[in-house]
Chain A
Amino acid sequence: MARILVADDASFMRQMIREIVESEGHEVVAEASDGVEAIDQYRTHQPDVVTMDIVMPRRSGIDAVKGILELDAGACVVMCSALGQESLVTEALQAGAKDFIVKPFKPDAVIQTLGKVLEKEDL
């Protein structure tokens, strides 16, 4: 089971993701409400996976992906995007994010995407 960092500026979304991943036995080791905090929490907890919102204050999710990959080139980040953010998702994937999940979250889709990423990363 994976150790997960959940980064989203909305506590509503963090709570939803937490419940979905915990229902599958994963552990949420930390939460972050902006891009700067996401990088700090990554440094502190070294999670297996990060779920990263794109639109966040201080540093965007895409900036935070870049910051995390500077700390750990092997970091596994999954973007959380809304419909209409396709170009931002592409930018995040080019920056090194492994995959993405679309809001509103569908538990099956979240679990499936995380499972796929974890398997690929051999975690």
Chain B
Amino acid sequence: MAKYRDVFLEEATDHLAEMSRALLDLEKDPRRVEAIDVLFRMAHSIKGMAASLEYASIAEVAHLLEDRMQEIRSAARLGGPEDLALLFRGLEGLECMVAVVRETGEPPPPDPELAAALSAASAAEAETDPKKA
């Protein structure tokens, strides 16, 4: 699996840089659809790669980010500054986890606080969205 780990590290690093650029775009314009799409696709892609390599903690955070981005995509805009801050936190969490893989070659430990914060944001969205209630 070592060769796949290298491909993962290369591709995940590119994806995280793209997510960072997209978040900066969203900071300027919370309705920027292209940036929302990029964040959704990159989170989805990282989830798939991490799951294939059994990096459960990365797959979990990427999955929760993907879910959150799907909700934002449906709403066609960010919820507010807290939403942006949470997405930046999610990105930072993923960056730290990928760094652990790069440095140790081992699956990174979970980040339950981050996972809980992302889950809570989605739960709050579901409560305010009558379609999901």
Q: Which A positions have Cβ atoms within 8 angstroms of B?
A: 9-13, 15-16, 55-57, 82, 84, 103-105
Interchain Cβ contacts under 8 Å between A and B, 21 examples: A10-B11, A11-B7, A11-B11, A12-B4, A12-B7, A12-B11, A12-B52, A13-B52, A15-B4, A16-B4, A16-B52, A55-B45, A56-B41, A57-B41, A82-B44, A82-B51, A84-B63, A103-B48, A103-B51, A104-B48, A104-B51
Residues of A within 8 A of B40 (CB): 55
Number of residues in B with C-beta < 8 Å to the partner? 15
- Interface residues, chain B, with chain A CB atoms under 8 Å away: 4, 7-8, 11, 37, 40-41, 44-45, 47-49, 51-52, 63
Nearest CB of chain B from residue A120's CB, rounded to whole Å: 27
Nearest chain B CB to A57 CB, angstrom units:
6
Interface pair A10/B49, CB less than 8 Å apart: yes
Contacts of A82 in B (CB 8 A): 44, 47-48, 51
Contacts of B51 in A (CB 8 A): 82, 103-104
Bound CA–CA A82/B66 (angstroms): 12
Distance A104 CA – B47 CA, assembled complex (angstroms): 9
Which of B7, B44, B45, B52 makes the CB contact (< 8 A) with A104? Answer: B52
Smallest Cβ distance from A42 to chain B, in angstroms? 22
A13 & B41 in contact (Cβ 8 Å cutoff): no
Inter-chain contact A10/B48, CB cutoff 8 Å = yes
- Complex contact A55–B49 (CB within 8 A): no
